[in-house]
Amino acid sequence: MNRFTKLLSGAATLALVAGGASAQDCPIKVGVLHSLSGTMAISETTLKDTMLMLIEQQNAAGGLLGCELEAVVVDPASDWPLFAEKARELLTVHEVDVMFGNWTSVSRKSVLPVIEELNGLLFYPVQYEGEESSKNVFYTGAAPNQQAIPAVDYFLEELGVEKFALLGTDYVYPRTTNNILASYLASKGIAEEDIFVNYTPFGHSDWGTIVADVVALGEDGKQVGVISTINGDANIGFYKELAAAGVSADDIPVVAFSVGEEELSGLDTSNLVGHLAAWNYFQSAEGEANEEWIAAWKARMGEDRVTNDPMEAHYIGFNMWVNAVKAAETTDVDAVRTAMYGQEFPNLTGGTAVMLPNHHLSKPVLIGEITAEGQFDIISQTDPVPGDAWTDFLPESAVLKSDWKDLGCGMYNTETSTCVQIKSNY
């Protein structure tokens, strides 16, 4: 490869790894794979900005292995097949050393065969449905046991919810998550007829009938709660319709898995006070590290810009990758993967995130209540929860474990003691 350009120091032409081994090509290229247009731009543009800030901060601190980091930004435009094309472009044309990106699971699954074919490395920063384990992906967002299951527990134990409306955007993440939740709710004694499930397309805007159906669930006097896996700008119409129908959090609480500070910044939150979200981070978390992160973000982007959970996931993932590259003394994907296991980095809510052999993090689970200011009041926080790639609440997955470090397998059957081929969902 001819990539010996744009060196951090003009006097240096190569950055030698420790021990005098092979030279590290410069610059080190970081692919940024987030939608900057289309229905998901409302959520993903901020993550592009986050990556640019992290890369600039690392360069200001001296770069990496004697090289400057260079961001290579592409726009998959909320077009799921285009994600695969852009990932291939990043790996084959731009020859990036690592990629940070995707939001929706359908976009991640579009990218998956490309990075596995080309042995790329992707850090995926958003909560997802689990039921996947690739040696080429580090999942820094929440698995279902780090978000969806604890949120349902909160509804059951703290709010006394008896009937559930599972509302989602029509793609793999909401459908798989809701399958898991339906099984979990059944194990908790919730009858099938007390679970209402509805899916809508990306960008859906006509919520009148669906909200009316949800309200009708409570006509028998039972407490209804909404579990929302609605993604992107469809959330704007959903919450507006709730307010128009006069539904408050006291009447029918909503806990969202894809609504954070960024999404709320585009809404009138006066009628949403008391509704909830479940994440591993909120901007309102107290602590010096979070204060510094928020200050740096606002200094770069403006006082009106907010932080959110997927940003923290990129913050943790990027810094773990930097430390793994330093430990491996190379950006080689296989070497970095090995160095990632056991990586620790302070999260922004207190405590330490740890990278597990299943390519998931151990992180705390937070429940936040929407305030009139468009922020979240943290009303519940757990100790760190290890992310689980394969849920215990689907029979075919309960016997599976992921361990890339010792077993070299993402789909190990604990009953047969065999490594089976990863099932394909794309």
- Under the banding of pLDDT at 50, 70 and 90, the label for residue 4 is very low
The percentage of the chain sitting over the pLDDT mark of 90, rounded to a whole number, equals 85
- Under the banding of pLDDT at 50, 70 and 90, the label for residue 109 is very high
Asked if the model's pLDDT at residue 11 lies above 80, the reply is no
Q: Give the pLDDT score at 235.
A: 87
Asked if the model's pLDDT at residue 380 lies above 90, the reply is yes
Q: Give the pLDDT score at 265.
A: 84
Range of the domain at 183: 145-284+367-386
Note whether 226 and 293 are same-domain residues. Answer: no
Q: Give the pLDDT score at 355.
A: 98
Note whether 259 and 382 are same-domain residues. Answer: yes
Q: Is the pTM of this model over 0.75?
A: yes
- Under the banding of pLDDT at 50, 70 and 90, the label for residue 5 is very low
Asked if the model's pLDDT at residue 210 lies above 70, the reply is yes
Lowest mean pLDDT among 39-43, 114-118, 342-346: 39-43
Note whether 377 and 249 are same-domain residues. Answer: yes
The 3-state secondary structure of 356-382 reads CCCCEEEECCEEEEECCCCCEEEEEEC
Under 8 Å between Cβ of 48 and 76 = no
CATH code, domain with 23: 3.40.50.2300
Note whether 46 and 181 are same-domain residues. Answer: no
**Strand order in 361-363's β-sheet?**
344-346, 352-355, 361-363, 385-386
Query: Going by DSSP bridges, is the β-strand pair 69-74/28-33 parallel, antiparallel, or unpaired?
Result: parallel
Q: Give the pLDDT score at 391.
A: 97
Nearest-CA neighbor of 408 among 394, 395, 418? 418
Asked if the model's pLDDT at residue 14 lies above 70, the reply is no
Range list of H helices, 193-254: 208-217, 234-244
Under 8 Å between Cβ of 84 and 114 = yes
Supply the DSSP string of 183-205, one letter for each residue.
HHHHHTT--GGGEEEEEE-TT--
Count CB-CB contacts under 10 A for residue 154: 20
Domain count along the chain: 2
Note whether 180 and 248 are same-domain residues. Answer: yes
The number of C-alpha atoms within 13 Å of 175 and in the hemisphere containing its C-beta is 10
Q: Give 91's DSSP letter.
A: I
pLDDT in tens, 269-315: 887 899 999 999 999 999 999 999 999 999 999 999 999 999 999 99
In a domain, 278, yes or no: yes
Q: Give the pLDDT score at 422.
A: 55
307, two tokens: 């932080």
Count CB-CB contacts under 10 A for residue 257: 26
Q: Give the pLDDT score at 272.
A: 86
Q: Give the pLDDT score at 8.
A: 33
- Under the banding of pLDDT at 50, 70 and 90, the label for residue 426 is very low
Note whether 183 and 295 are same-domain residues. Answer: no
Lowest mean pLDDT among 177-186, 270-279, 351-360: 270-279
Asked if the model's pLDDT at residue 10 lies above 60, the reply is no
Note whether 162 and 134 are same-domain residues. Answer: no
Q: Give the pLDDT score at 180.
A: 97
In a domain, 183, yes or no: yes
The more confidently predicted of residues 19 and 76 is 76
Note whether 105 and 63 are same-domain residues. Answer: yes
The percentage of the chain sitting over the pLDDT mark of 70, rounded to a whole number, equals 93
The number of C-alpha atoms within 13 Å of 101 and in the hemisphere containing its C-beta is 39
Note whether 273 and 233 are same-domain residues. Answer: yes
Note whether 356 and 241 are same-domain residues. Answer: no
In a domain, 258, yes or no: yes
Q: Give the pLDDT score at 24.
A: 81
Asked if the model's pLDDT at residue 332 lies above 50, the reply is yes
Note whether 187 and 253 are same-domain residues. Answer: yes
Note whether 52 and 116 are same-domain residues. Answer: yes
- Under the banding of pLDDT at 50, 70 and 90, the label for residue 12 is very low
In a domain, 391, yes or no: no
In a domain, 47, yes or no: yes
Asked if the model's pLDDT at residue 420 lies above 90, the reply is no
In a domain, 80, yes or no: yes
In a domain, 87, yes or no: yes
Q: Which residues fall within 8 angstroms of residue 22, CB to CB, at 6 or more apart?
A: 330
Nearest-CA neighbor of 94 among 176, 162, 30, 38? 30
324, two tokens: 């793994």
pLDDT in tens, 21-66: 346 899 999 999 999 999 899 889 999 999 999 999 999 999 999 9
- Mean pLDDT for 367-392 is 95
In a domain, 426, yes or no: no
pLDDT in tens, 404-417: 999 999 999 999 99
